[in-house]
């Protein structure tokens, strides 16, 4: 069976063709991640939670949004106090996840 991707280069596939290819890959499971591999949403939610906790746990960090009349308890504000890289020391799985999401460079 001739497939759209065999007929055109990836950049030449018509827009509708790309959608069909994506749908087929989702149905066939080729686009699925392994069961133990966290999704991009899980990784990004995890890091946002980490940075949000950074605001709640630091008095100087709380004062900045307050000085801008922002309620950090009602908005999703995060802060990296420069300690994030220490959290990753020796955790190769977490590093791989953050690299795959574009949060860290390889």
Q: pLDDT of 78-104, one tens digit each?
A: 888 877 777 778 888 888 888 888 888
Q: Which has the higher per-residue pLDDT, 46 or 32? A: 46
Distance between CA atoms of residues 98 and 103, nearest Å: 5
Distance between CA atoms of residues 66 and 61, nearest Å: 9
Q: Where are the domains of the chain?
A: 1-32, 40-100
One DSSP character per residue, 33-82 reads PPTTSPPHHHHHHHHHHHHHHHHHT-HHHHHHHHHTT--TTTS------S
pTM of the predicted model as reported, rounded to 2 decimal places: 0.56
Tell me the per-residue pLDDT of 34-88, one tens digit each, with 9 for 90 and over.
556 678 888 888 888 888 888 888 888 888 888 999 898 888 888 888 777 777 7
């Amino acid at each position: 069976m001739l497939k759209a991707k065999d007929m055109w280069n990836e950049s030449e596939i018509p827009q509708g063709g790309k959608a069909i290819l994506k749908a087929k890959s989702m149905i066939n499971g080729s686009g699925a991640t392994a069961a133990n591999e966290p999704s991009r949403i899980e990784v990004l939610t995890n890091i946002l939670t980490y940075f949000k906790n950074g605001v709640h746990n630091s008095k100087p960090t709380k004062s900045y949004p307050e000085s801008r009349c922002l309620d950090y308890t009602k908005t999703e504000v995060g802060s990296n106090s420069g300690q994030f890289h220490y959290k990753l020391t020796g955790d190769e799985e977490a590093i791989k996840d953050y690299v795959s999401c574009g949060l860290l460079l390889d």
